[in-house]
Amino acid sequence: MRNFTKQFTAVVFGGICLILMMTVCCPPSATSLEKAEDTEASEKEDWDARLEQEIKWIRAEAEAVIVTATKRKISVRKAPAVATVITADEIRRMGARDITDVLKTVPGFGVSINVSGGYMFEVRGVRTAENEKILLMIDGHRMNVPFWGGLGEFNMLSVENIKQIEVIRGPGSALYGANAFVAAINIITKNADDTDGVEVSVAGGSSDTNKFSLIGGKSFEKFEIAGSVYHSDSDGPRLTIDADRFAGKPYSKTPGKTDSYLEQNEVFLKASYGNLKFTGQYFDKERGTYIGFANALTDGSVYPHKNLWAELAYSHSFTDKASANFRIYYDRFEETDKTRLMLFPEGYPGFPDGMFGCPSFKNRTVGTEIQSDMDIFKGNHLIAGFNYEYIEQYDVRRDTNFNPWTGDPLGSVQDISSWGNFNKDVTRKIWAVYLQDEWEIRENLNLTAGVRHDHYDDFGGTTNPRLGLVWSLLKDADIKLLYGQAFRSPSFQELYNDSNPSVLGNPNLEPEKIKTYETSLEYRFKGSHGINVTYFHNDIENLIIRDTASPAHYLNMSGAEIQGIEAGISGAYSADAYWKLSYTWQDPRNADNDARL
């Protein structure tokens, strides 16, 4: 595939160069010269028309619509949440390569990379290696992996097939359950009408980077189909590491280069006939481990993952005021048996070929959800729903060439699952009910109240309410007063890690809980400029951390208090030129001793 991509890139690049050469070398005809004055005269009319289009674009941006805040379409201004919407046009103009590039632009978000090459997202003073306190969805379909609880390897999803990305900062468990702890991200993909044909793009760049993308869509009478195919491969930036934990030892690879190679494939499909809709995606990613999992520079690791999900949904309108939506879905995530993680380099004492750990596992989720929508009276909308999931972890296996307890060499890489597995086969059952009411008290005053109860068969139940008041005190000014609670269920890694020299699981963990208070003010100046300021306060309980033992254990600490301010200002000069500036101040502290975290 890599060779094909390179050849195709070369052909396209050569064709573009040929067209440019023909354009430059061929002189303008006499007819063209005669028309020059007419063209010049029409330039002003073209400019006026373009300016009018740009003003329309700016107004459209100001009236952006979001689904994630309430599970139905609502303007960002009236949404009971601190929300950011990034459209396909904005993504294209910023030159984003993947969703991580996009999320870097969201106020309150920070992005960093850990020693093993995983991206960590910091939101309102909270950052962890697995990003398990952030919920990621594609068209409303949950993508978090049960083993880690976090985003898995989806942080580099392609952007070519994205219609818009909706980001909610703050709790979302009242609608979505677990993991919508400090933020929820919903990637909305393009429909058939957004493409209406086929688009092909090929790109190449430094570090031997190649990309190929094909998206398409078509609408018929009752049938619509849209989808995309994406491939990328790259050697990645090879940065110099001067020293690691073994610096100065004869087997240390420092000074040396990071291992950031990447190969990624995606296939996405959505199709609908009448009220019946199918959505599905296949994702395949293999990458290097940057420096290395054990803080030792290595270059012999292979870290592959595969994911497949499918969803079938049916919607029905009983009247113009009452409707229902039913969906069933299936997910399968796999850390494949090709995983080969080099912990220590070749020549490490007792390990001439290096120390390897080769874990693999599979997660499977089968779920169903039914949601009803009803207009109770004019200006009042009620949502009620039920959700059930059966989650299974299976085929957990560990191949390695060392004893995980003593560190002694085993001579060769071998299956030690029978006596030294790193986790275990396990199941989890979840059911949930939720209710939300939106009431337009006045044209400029909206109240939203909701609650959701989730019950887990392994740790019990948790109830999480929300309350939001949105007041448009002026034509161009909005105030939002928000309160919400959320939870984060312990992951399989935190519960059942075993025979791990780094950290062990704790089956007695309680879910993390958070209470969030938010006040947000947004003002739009005349023209295309706007300013927004948000104050937030988080009270976190049962925060899951690692203790200082060796090996470490997961445990619940008493909690943390985090407060902060997010401020942003933005403007646009035209449909092709806009700017944004944001600033975040945050103060995270230990709830027991007030020490800064």
For residue 278, give both structure tokens.
């199918």
Query: CA 476 to CA 462: how far, in whole Å?
Result: 39
The string of DSSP letters for 9-56 reads HHHHHHHHHHHHHHHHHSPPPHHHHHTHHHHHHHHHHHHHHHHHHHHH
pLDDT (0 to 100) of residue 9: 40
Residue 292's DSSP bridge partners are: none
Query: CA 220 to CA 222: how far, in whole Å?
Result: 6
Nearest to 287 by CA among 267, 269, 303, 272: 303
Q: Note whether 160 and 91 are within 8 A (CB).
A: no
Q: Note whether 323 and 313 are within 8 A (CB).
A: no
Nearest to 278 by CA among 462, 393, 470, 139: 139
Spatial neighbors of 309 by CB under 8 A, at least 6 apart, are: 141, 143, 280, 281, 329, 330, 331, 332
pLDDT (0 to 100) of residue 64: 87
- Is 590's pLDDT higher than 90? no
Long-range contacts of 440-443 (CB under 8 A, 24+ apart): 440/379, 440/380, 441/379
Handedness of CA 107, 108, 109, 115 (dihedral sign): positive
Instruction: Summarize pLDDT for 123-170 with one digit per residue, the tens.
Output: 998 999 899 999 999 999 999 999 999 988 888 899 999 999 999 999
39 pLDDT band, cuts 50/70/90, is low
Nearest to 551 by CA among 493, 591, 490, 505: 505
Instruction: Summarize pLDDT for 96-126 with one digit per residue, the tens.
Output: 999 999 999 999 899 999 999 999 999 998 9
Query: CA 150 to CA 132: how far, in whole Å?
Result: 4
pLDDT (0 to 100) of residue 29: 39
Instruction: Summarize pLDDT for 507-539 with one digit per residue, the tens.
Output: 999 999 999 999 999 998 876 788 999 999 999
Handedness of CA 454, 562, 447, 527 (dihedral sign): negative
Query: CA 477 to CA 484: how far, in whole Å?
Result: 23
Q: Is 176 helix (H, G, I), strand (E, B) or coil?
A: helix
For residue 220, give both structure tokens.
């018929």
- Is 274's pLDDT higher than 70? yes
Query: CA 173 to CA 85: how far, in whole Å?
Result: 20
| SS3 sequence of 390-441 | EEEEEEEEEEEEECCCCCCEEEEEEECHHHHCCCCCEEEEEEEEEEEEEEEE
pLDDT (0 to 100) of residue 489: 97
- Is 3's pLDDT higher than 70? no
pLDDT (0 to 100) of residue 575: 66
Q: How far is CA 343 from CA 88, 325, 422, in A?
A: 40, 48, 15
Instruction: Summarize pLDDT for 79-104 with one digit per residue, the tens.
Output: 999 999 999 999 998 899 999 999 99
Q: Note whether 469 and 493 are within 8 A (CB).
A: no
Mean pLDDT along residues 248-253: 94
Q: Note whether 271 and 101 are within 8 A (CB).
A: no
Q: Note whether 471 and 442 are within 8 A (CB).
A: no
Residue 52 or 560, more confident: 560
b/e sequence 332-363, b meaning 16+ C-beta within 10 Å: bbbbebebbbbbbbeebeebeebbbbbbbbbb
Nearest to 285 by CA among 98, 10, 111: 98
Mean pLDDT along residues 393-410: 95
Beta-strand pair 183-189/134-138:
parallel
- Say which amino acid occupies 515: K
pLDDT (0 to 100) of residue 36: 44
Nearest to 356 by CA among 405, 295, 300: 300
Q: Note whether 9 and 204 are within 8 A (CB).
A: yes
Cα dihedral 149, 153, 155, 160 in deg (nearest 10): -130
Q: How far is CA 18 from CA 8, 22, 24, 232, in A?
A: 15, 6, 10, 26
pLDDT (0 to 100) of residue 49: 55
φ/ψ region of 450 (left if φ > 0, alpha if ψ in -120 to 50, else beta) reads beta
Mean pLDDT along residues 172-185: 97
- Is 246's pLDDT higher than 60? yes
The mean predicted confidence, pLDDT, of the chain is: 89
Q: Is the pTM of this model over 0.85?
A: yes
Which residue is it, tokens 């392994």?
A: 458
pLDDT (0 to 100) of residue 2: 42
Nearest to 64 by CA among 88, 80, 78, 85: 85
187 pLDDT band, cuts 50/70/90, is very high
Instruction: Summarize pLDDT for 405-463 with one digit per residue, the tens.
Output: 999 999 999 999 999 999 999 999 999 999 999 999 999 999 999 999 999 999 999 99
Q: How far is CA 360 from CA 376, 402, 415, 417, in A?
A: 50, 16, 11, 10
Instruction: Summarize pLDDT for 342-395 with one digit per residue, the tens.
Output: 999 999 999 999 999 999 999 999 999 999 999 999 999 999 999 999 999 999
The string of DSSP letters for 77-113 reads TT-SSEEEEEEHHHHHHHT-SSHHHHHTTSTTEEEEE
Domain-wise residue ranges, the chain: 2-47, 235-424
Quickly count helices (H) and strands (E) in the chain.
Answer: 9, 33
Lowest mean pLDDT among 40-44, 238-242, 504-508: 40-44
